[in-house]
Structure 1
Amino acid sequence: MIAEVLRLRAGIREHRDSTGHDLCWHHPQLWGLLPERVDPQLAVPPWPKFLRGCVAYRESLGREQAEAPVHDAEYDEKPR
């Protein structure tokens, strides 16, 4: 069980410490599960590059997860 806890913490830290296009979503609640407290220093791509990254990510999901159900809600809407 200790090995699993260490593995999960390492994965959370890797996400927390990523930046630029490697940081898909900002998840401070997830990062807060770690025992150490840090204030991640984020770097955000300019809008055009950010949007191209979003499009590339969505295209990869279409290829790799083509059978996934579609969640057809606007970003700020609550799930149905």
Structure 2
Amino acid sequence: METLDDDLTDKSREWLLEEVKKLREAIREHRDSTGHDLCWHHPRLWGLLPEKTLPEVAVPAWPQFMRGCIKYRQSLEAQLPQAPIEKREAD
């Protein structure tokens, strides 16, 4: 049975190292997002995967979406209570 990562078995060590570096760079960019950049979905990050599928994104209705945003912000407050507060508005 094939898995999504079977294509890696015939890649060279050099290719694998370059791929790891590319993925690490993308993960760091995502990790280092701050302010309003935390709120957006990240198709560029998903595009680094070899399978080229369009994610089936379900968009919540506005009231549910806003409640989710509030929960997310509350989780940041709990997990990062010393984080500086971003003052600029979203574009």
Provide the TM-score with structure 2 as the length reference: 0.54
Q: Secondary structure at the match of 1:60?
A: helix
Unaligned runs of 5+ in 2: 1-15, 28-38
Q: What does residue 79 of structure 2 align with? A: 64
Q: Distance in 2 between matches of 1:25 and 1:41?
A: 16
Runs of 4+ residues deviating >6 angstroms: none
Q: Distance in 1 between matches of 2:41 and 2:78?
A: 24
Q: What does residue 19 of structure 1 align with? A: none
CA RMSD of aligned residues (A): 2.2
Give aligned-pair identity as a percent.
57
Q: How many residues of Structure 1 are paired with residues of Structure 2 in the alignment? A: 58
| Higher Cα Rg, which structure | 2
Deviation track 1:30-61 (CA, whole Å, cap 9, x = no partner) reads 11111111111111111001001101110111
The structure with the largest helix share of the pair is 2
Higher relative contact order at CA 8 Å, sep ≥6: structure 1 or structure 2? 2
Q: Does 1:45 align with 2:37?
A: no
Q: Distance in 1 between matches of 2:74 and 2:51?
A: 36
Instruction: Identify the match of residue 35 of structure 1 among 40, 50, 54.
Output: 50
